[in-house]
Amino acid sequence: MSLRFARLFTATLIGLSASATVLAAAGTQLVWRGDITTARGVVTDVAKAWEKSGKGKIELQPFNTASGIDAVVKGSADLAGSARPAVGAAEQSLTFTPVAWDALVMVTYPSNPVSNISLKQLHEIYMGHITNWKELGGNDAPINLYAVASPADGVEYSLRRLLFGRGNQPVAAPRLYVNVAKLEEGVTLDKQGLGASTLAGASSNRKVKILSIDGVAPSMSTVSSGTYPLYTELYLVTNDSSPKAAEVKEFISFVTSSKGSSLLRSHSLVPYADGAALAAKDASRRAAIASAVGTRANAGQPMTTPAAVAAAPAAAAAVAAKETALAKAQAASKGAKAAKTTKGTVAATAAEPPKFARVVAGVSTSAHMSFVGVHAEAFTMSDNAKIGGRFAKVRADAVTVRGKPVAKAADASEKSTTVATPKVAEAKPAPKPAKVVAKAGKPAASRTYKVAAGDTLYSIAKKNAIDVNTLRAMNGLKDNNVRLGQVLKVGAR
């Protein structure tokens, strides 16, 4: 073999080897599609680090939650990003792996004087009961509520699940966008705007202002400790039957590695392993939120999949084991008789559905604790037994005084549980307030209430056990607006 031929042969082999390497690299390219939230906080920087390490290419297609999950189901994407767990039968075949904790945050215009909002106020805004910034201590201007168009959007779904107990709850948000990035753009142009985003995305956006919730500002520390109530998991969604399942699994391992975790922290995210104990607090957290807003907690689907819990550090498992051991010790000390009584009570509770099980708005009552958890504007001042039962299917206003119904429940016989989108309706004609006759012919002194920060007409009525229509009529109010420091009549002394 001549030297020239040998050199040509060697060059050919090197060229073929290089071509094989290029083809191999091209073969390991992954396609990620999903929500803007996960793209901004998790995937973008991690994908760059993945490529620099020589592990392959990742094509990013950020848009929204539904498009990403659908692409993984159909096989046109290898991974998706989501700020919510699996929803619906089609998604149950996919694997949702939690990789980080983020905060759901409310953003508004930077010059807005309102810096804090309560969970109750947030609930009332989304229901259309609070419509003016002055009700939150701000300017006398309408609240322009923004939302993402898809009810299955990760941010919207997770926020509504916390506030209402159901992720697909209709809300009074007429301004809709395709994703949170576009929503934030809308808020930057509207001094009265308000919408939901995430800490990872909004923290770097100087054109929006992030509100505190019940006096707690969202941050990595308040999320990891659980003191900020509106936290959620960010997931990477995969299909175990994908031809690239092995490469996808390796990428997820890279995301959760020390290098990947450092990149997550740079975006104000808490790596999932750092906040694993938050999953154990989820049920109590949701119960506390439900109590604050006056709705029922969603005790159904847990935050994480069983596989994710098993892969997390043992912190959450240790807490659960400790609570289980304590519960067993308490049960043993009570004896067989107590256990038998408890069993009977549980059986009775399971057999009989709770009162007002399907009412769908908030309730104020001065009569019975059994009304707790009703979700409609149903006010009563007497024994509900006198007016014919439990209101199990009340779906609209039901107002009763001294046992006589004065406002009929909307189609109480209908079996559908569909909830219409909340609307800000005009106030209904209020009944005339009952005359108060004082002793010895003297006029009765009025009992008053001074409006404090965060108060609404509904909350004032509830605090003073008075019908909101009566409260409005007593004070000559034409709408539900009250101002800070205003003195209202709430009854007779």
Q: pLDDT tens for residues 261-306?
A: 999 999 999 999 998 789 888 989 999 999 999 886 665 555 554 3
CA dist 247 → 48, 193, 201, 244, 338 (Å): 16, 43, 27, 5, 55
Average pLDDT over residues 313-324: 42
Could you tell me the domains of the chain?
20-99+234-291 (3.40.190.10), 102-231 (3.40.190.10), 347-423 (no CATH), 427-493 (3.10.350.10)
Residue 297 confidence (pLDDT): 62
Residue 405, pLDDT > 80, answer no
Q: Tens digits of per-residue pLDDT, 19-46?
A: 333 333 444 789 999 888 888 889 999 9
Rounded Cα–Cα distance for residues 136 and 116 (Å) = 8
Q: pLDDT per residue over 343-385, tens digit each?
A: 444 343 344 444 444 444 433 333 333 334 434 333 333 334 4
Average pLDDT, the chain: 74
Average pLDDT over residues 4-12: 42
- Report the pLDDT averaged over residues 94-113: 96
pLDDT of residue 73: 92
Q: How far apart are CA 420 and CA 235, in angstroms?
A: 30
Task: Indicate if the alpha-carbon torsion angle 385, 389, 392, 395 is positive or negative.
Answer: negative
pLDDT of 229 strictly over 70: yes
Residue 266: φ, ψ to 5°: -65, -15
Which tens digit of pLDDT belongs to each residue from 179-203? Answer: 899 999 999 999 999 999 999 989 9
